[in-house]
Amino acid sequence: MPELPEVETIRRGLQRELTGRTVTAVEARTESGRRGAKRLRAPSPRSLAGLEGQSVLDARRHGKYLMLGLSDGTLLVHLGMTGKLLFSEPGEPERAHTHLVLELDDGRLLSFVDPRRFGLLKLYARDDAMPDLDGFGPDALATDFTPEHLAQQLASCSAPLKAFLMDQSRVAGLGNIYVCEALWRTGLSPKRMARRTPKNKIALLHQSILDVLQDSLAQGGTSFNDYVDHIGQPGKFVAQLAVYDREGQPCLRCGVAVKRITQANRSTFYCPACQK
């Protein structure tokens, strides 16, 4: 389940391995679009065949979106739940659920593999509008995500803190795991209404978000079943999770059993004793 640290880990790998490479051939196994079987989540404004001949200039990220800067456009990538970008050598057996294979000028292949097909691949030409990120809040690790921004957003939201932090229009990059972990670190209940966050906790919440993301990034992210980076390495942060997927186990701070509840049809894990 790639959230910001996992996507950033992949971005760094792509920046290192893909920058300067040219796509020499494109094989789309499935088309992006909504109708019919075996399609990804959203239609691409340009045929992915347009990748052929383009060079990769850089790899950027906003929230959980990856943007590969090309010689004439941008390839926008969202990994959804189970999307992977994997390098391979020619002749290696192709993995199931491969949607796109790019041949590179150094002989390697870069494949987009996504069993659950929540992922998204969109090719934009240089002058195309890229509406996907409209309305997104600042990236959680960018300098414009400040305590002041957080305070202002909190004040205008009557949803619970869990839903607030999951909302990419408030701050981009957090998902279920890091929202649960950041709230635990701050000692705030996921059920607390966002605008009722105590003023003296806002700076701490902001810092907890940065800390949990940085800590995870330092471990290459969190892996359960699906996530691996571009060379197939799982992340190691799962060993440091305080509440996520720890229902019934003792809170690392106070020893009370971690509780699991459902919010917006998603699991929330928290300590009922020390998260207020």
Q: Which residues bind DNA (CB under 7 A)?
A: 1, 3, 37-38, 41-42, 63-65, 78, 80-82, 96-97, 115-118, 132, 156-160, 163, 166, 168, 175-177, 194, 225, 264-267
In angstroms, what is the minimal distance from the CB of 1 to DNA? 5
250 assigned to active site: no
Residue 142, classified by CB atoms within 10 Å of its CB into exposed (0-12), middle (13-18) or buried (19+), is middle
For the chain, the helix, strand and coil percentages under 3-state DSSP, each to the nearest 5? 25, 25, 50
Of 194, 198, 189, 201, give the one whose Cα is nearest residue 171.
194
In angstroms, what is the minimal distance from the CB of 27 to DNA? 20
266 assigned to active site: yes
In angstroms, what is the minimal distance from the CB of 51 to DNA? 22
In angstroms, what is the minimal distance from the CB of 21 to DNA? 26
Q: Which of 21, 60, 195, 266 is catalytic?
A: 266
16 assigned to active site: no
Torsion of CA 89, 90, 92, 96, to 10 degrees: 100
The residue (of 49 and 264) whose beta carbon lies closer to DNA is: 264
Region for 216 from its dihedrals, namely left if φ exceeds 0, alpha if ψ lies in -120 to 50, beta otherwise: alpha
90 assigned to active site: no
In angstroms, what is the minimal distance from the CB of 253 to DNA? 21
Q: Which of 64, 84, 170, 185 is catalytic?
A: 64
Per-residue DSSP letters for 88-147?
Answer: E-TTSPPPTTEEEEEEETTS-EEEEE-TT---EEEEEETT---GGGTT---BTTSTT--H
The residue (of 118 and 142) whose beta carbon lies closer to DNA is: 118
The residue (of 82 and 186) whose beta carbon lies closer to DNA is: 82
Q: Which of 3, 6, 8, 17 is catalytic?
A: 3
Collapsed DSSP state (helix, strand, coil) of residue 176: helix
The residue (of 23 and 68) whose beta carbon lies closer to DNA is: 68
The residue (of 23 and 137) whose beta carbon lies closer to DNA is: 137
Residues annotated as catalytic are: 2-3, 64, 266
